[in-house]
């Protein structure tokens, strides 16, 4: 692998084995980063991805764990340090949906979405700050959603979690800016992955009609923004949320 803009850097990608996370893992690895790919259920996909990265001349390891548990956060940091010696980049990508109208939403659907999408981010970020504060540098990139900005019927749990991600990002960014740790969020719009493939066809059509660019986005298009935010080119950007949505939400 050629020396890329992230040569020598170490990245952790939560939920990094499929969907947007997979694209981010690959893109960072192709830019020269050593990548710890976290996964929860996708054992074989994680191993395949690690093999692909190694086959391309990069370095990667897969580490299983549910991000909503603190032991996973501690383990991810430990494994990154044991395997690669440091952590420079954390991508908080793991996320789920459990959609229902609020009136029918079960408490467990609320808890699962908040615990995975928001609490998981708190736990991994808290754990990664120890080495990052010590080394006085780091990039943390949190995957939010346009739903956290504009809301969506049937997604009160997801909307609350994703709006929470933005508030969390801004507060942490202010706490750690003095140590040269930059914390930003990406709010993707409608991106082709397993998460959106399961939407009903009529809903997909309605969403598409509200996208000025007239098409669904790709995981690669989100990964390129993550790469930018992780790269030296983004050295003066912190506390921001970059919307990647084909123009769906213009503010």
The residue count for binding ligand NAP (CB under 6 A) is 30
Shortest approach of ligand NAP to residue 56 CB, angstroms?
A: 20
Shortest approach of ligand NAP to residue 94 CB, angstroms?
A: 3
- The gap from C-alpha 61 to its chain's centroid, in whole angstroms, comes to 17
Q: Binding to ligand NAP by residue 21, rule CB under 6 A? A: yes
User: Torsion angle of alpha carbons 223, 195, 192, 103, nearest 10°?
Assistant: -110
Q: Binding to ligand NAP by residue 15, rule CB under 6 A? A: yes
Shortest approach of ligand NAP to residue 10 CB, angstroms?
A: 19
- The gap from C-alpha 108 to its chain's centroid, in whole angstroms, comes to 23
Pinpoint the alpha helices (H) of the chain. 19-30, 43-55, 70-84, 107-114, 120-135, 147-150, 156-176, 194-197, 201-209, 219-230
List binders of ligand NAP among 73-112 (CB under 6 A).
Answer: 93-96
What binding mask, one character per residue, do residues 157-196 give for ligand NAP by CB under 6 A, x or -? -------------------------------x-xx-xxxx
Shortest approach of ligand NAP to residue 203 CB, angstroms?
A: 12
Q: Binding to ligand NAP by residue 66, rule CB under 6 A? A: yes
Please give the backbone phi and psi of residue 181, each rounded to the nearest 5 degrees, phi first: -105, 120
CA distances from 93 to 56, 88, 124, 154, 213 (A): 23, 16, 11, 21, 24
List residues near ligand NAP by CB under 6 A. Answer: 14-15, 17-21, 38-42, 66-68, 93-96, 116-117, 143, 145, 188, 190-191, 193-196
């Amino acid at each position: 692998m050629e020396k890329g803009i992230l040569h020598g850097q170490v990245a952790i990608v939560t939920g990094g084995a499929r969907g947007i996370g997979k694209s981010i893992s690959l893109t960072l690895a192709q830019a020269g980063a050593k990548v710890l790919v976290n996964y929860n259920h996708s054992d074989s996909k994680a191993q395949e991805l690690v093999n692909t990265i190694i086959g391309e001349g990069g370095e990667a390891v897969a580490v299983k764990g549910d991000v909503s548990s603190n032991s996973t956060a501690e383990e991810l940091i430990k494994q990154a340090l044991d395997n690669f010696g440091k952590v420079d980049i954390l991508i908080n990508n793991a996320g789920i949906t459990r959609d229902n109208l609020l009136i029918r939403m079960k408490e467990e659907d609320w808890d699962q979405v908040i615990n995975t999408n928001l609490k998981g981010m708190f736990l991994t970020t808290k754990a990664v700050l120890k080495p990052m504060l010590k080394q006085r540098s780091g990039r943390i990139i949190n995957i939010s959603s346009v739903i956290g900005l504009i809301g969506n019927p049937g997604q009160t749990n997801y909307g609350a979690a994703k709006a929470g991600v933005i508030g969390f990002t801004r507060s942490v960014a202010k706490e750690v800016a003095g140590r040269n740790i930059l914390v930003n969020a990406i709010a993707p719009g409608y991106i082709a992955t397993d998460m959106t493939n399961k939407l009903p066809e009529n809903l997909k059509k309605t969403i598409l009609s509200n996208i000025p660019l007239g098409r669904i986005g790709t995981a690669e298009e989100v990964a390129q923004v993550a790469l930018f935010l992780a790269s030296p080119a983004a050295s003066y950007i912190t506390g921001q949320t970059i919307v990647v949505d084909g123009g769906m939400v213009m503010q």
